[in-house]
Amino acid sequence: MSDNLDSDLTGFQLELPYELGRYRLEAEIGRGGMGIVYHAEDTMLDRPVAVKVLLPQLAADSQFVQRFKREAQMAARLEHPNIVTVHDVGQVEGLVYFVMRLVTGKPLDRLMEEGLPWSRAETIAVQVAEAMAYAHEHHVIHRDIKPENVIVSREGIVTITDFGLARPEQQAGGPTQAGVILGTPGYMAPEQALGKDVDHRADIYAFGVMLFELISGDLPYDGETAFSIINQHISAPIPDVRQLKPNTPPWLAELVERTLAKNPEDRPRSMSEVSETLRSQQGSEIEKAAAAKAGEEDVSAQGLVRRIRAGEMSLAAALQKHPDVSQTLQEVFRREMTVISFDLAGSTQLKQSSGGTIAIGPVFNAYREMVDQALAAHNCEDAVWAGDGTVALFNLPSDAVLAAQDILRNLRDINARFPDTPDLGVRIGIHTGSILRDPNQALGQVTSTVLDQTGHLQKDARPGLVEVSQVTLDKLPSQEGWIRIRAARDSNLAVFAWHPDGPDQVPQSWIQRIRYGRGEEEAEAKGEAKSEARAKRPVAAAKDKPAKPEEEALHCPYCEGEVTVRDQKCPHCERLNRHYDPAIAEKGKRKRAATTTTTTTRRPRPSTMATRSTLVERAGDPRRTTAVGSRTTSQRSGSGGRPSQQQAAGPDVLSEMIIGIIIGSVLVCFGAWVFKDNFATFWWVDRGAKVQTSMVALLVLAAIDIGVGYSMRLTQPAMAFGVFIGLPVAMAILRYLKWWT
């Protein structure tokens, strides 16, 4: 029984944070009859997820674990805007878990406790019914439908969670242990409570219980123990919801009674039938009689919805004239959609370089035809062309992504068909969100933040890639082949890219072209630890120019330590740095020009360029003050400032200095050997009593050494300093060899 599971669950506790494979469990979200749900971080894809860890009592049964994994993988194939996406299922150190998309919002049971008017409840009921109808069409039954497993976002979008008990409808039996009834007693169908095989009609019964509760605020059956509640579901008569809510419409009371029938044969044939009944009546209100009087305009929510759908009134006008029902209208006409925005890259130059629009016309016509076919093949709901660009709406994120991928692949065929014209390139951006739209309004006239954000994704996209927001990626059945490349310009959303030839084909320079600013966005989401890390970040006293990419403060996605685009590995955890840019790193090794107006403390970097810098003060002062080595400009001028830890000589500086000493000494000694053996008259000078070394030859060698060191002063100051020191070392060697007398 569930009571037994709950008692065992009370003592089950993980010490957080807890590493569960690639997932880092950070906080507990809630507890259920089978396990605990945690807020976690996917360290591989660097994104938040929800992880449900099963009760160890159930995980100890190998047969149950095997069935559960198979069924979780089956549930992961479900893709619907109102069904949570299952990403992964696994077992680590005896803990069985599955991973879901992290859904933000409130559980339906909490909303009901706060007070939920029917104007909102009916919209929620419609979305739940449509999602369950979709699952049943794909032969999946949930077996644990209840308000706790329904999450409602701020926009009113419903998400059904916890498919842990789901199984294929054709499969007899299920992952059940002897003496354990899986499910929630208050929402359990009679045949499920009796341990019989169940089909989709058990979900219809559970939905009827939830519908009864949405209308009246109470469960149809209640008791002190789970056994008494289950017994009432099996044998007690069906209560009339109108006894608790007298103004319930007859059609709704009849629907509740049919869904709660004891015999599965007496219930509605499918959830599609239930959803159609609710959808056809959507807009009516129980709490107040808003029906229009005879001869007067029908201003009830139901009447306004009917008129808007018939085209007699626009949604905008209804919202403006009837603010009392605006919330109901928004919930009825707001839908979660996935938007594609794509446009040809450089089409204007292409037309000019190819002899005008007429000459390039066949290529564009082939492109448009290919795009229209791809959109139609993947269930595009609506699309509009604007010049060479297109905006398209999809119900499912996977359909949108598949259409974009097909367009990118087929574009190669079009370029091959027209070898005499320049190749076409397309920018593609995809985003998912809720859109409020009048059903009679053309897509080109719709104003929506989601459409604007998708357009920005497309404008910032690179030709040859499919770029999607993290919201869209989280709703896909699989994330294989995607790589994070940047952050969206007008939000904290991460942007991921897909390349037809694989993620390895995405150039590294494309990944780093827009910096993330991860410190700010993650500090808000993860608490005080990251807020303190952001507060400790040094800020320049004055900036005449925006920060260069190599100077931007970035953070390791694994340990949150500071890194730069020059670090191939994180200096703190030694993992590969996802921000690493080889082009900038190589450029930094060759040359670094650091110009500031004041002496600024810089954050430490593993490169020697940060520890030994050249600071040039140029602001309105003709004099040039240079600090070499570990001293700052203020120390050079005698201001008495303390040495900076960032500029203290480290092992890399010392090694460069030693190399410079070797170069300088070898250079001078080699030059002396050349002069002595090949130009003896130039090297030796007869002083009468004895032969001495020519001072002119020594000066020539010194000039060569100084010239080599001077040429290194900007790019490798430590080595240049060593070359200078190498001159007296070489002179000592020459004296020891008696080449200098």
Tell me whether the omega of the peptide bond preceding residue 48 falls within 30 degrees of 0, making it cis: no
Q: Kindly list the distances between the CA atom of residue 152 and the CA atoms of 148, 306, 598, in Å, as whole numbers in the listed order.
A: 10, 25, 53
Is 541 within 8 Å of 515 (Cβ atoms)? no
Of 144, 388, 581, 705, which residue is the catalytic one? 144
Backbone angles phi, psi at 24, to 5 degrees: -105, 110
Assigned token pair, 733? 């060697």
Does the annotation mark 144 as catalytic?
A: yes
Pairing of strands 494-498, 562-563: unpaired
- The packing angle between helices 271-280 and 250-259, to 10°, is 170
Side-chain half-sphere CA neighbours of 94 within 13 A: 6
**Max CA separation in the chain (angstroms):** 137
DSSP string, 62-86: HHHHHHHHHHHHHHTT--BTTBPPE
Alpha helices (H) in 688-716, listed in sequence order = 695-711
Cα–Cα dist 304/438, whole Å? 12
Pairing of strands 494-498, 554-555: unpaired
**How many other C-beta atoms can be found within 10 angstroms of the C-beta atom of residue 359?**
13
Give me the amino acid identity at 267. Answer: R
Q: How far is CA 245 from CA 251, 375, 614, in A?
A: 14, 47, 81
What is the token pair recorded at 575?
């993992």
Three-state DSSP state, 54: strand
Q: Which two tokens stand for residue 381?
A: 């709901």
The residues near 548 (Cβ < 8 Å, ≥ 6 apart) are: none
Give catalytic residue positions. Answer: 144
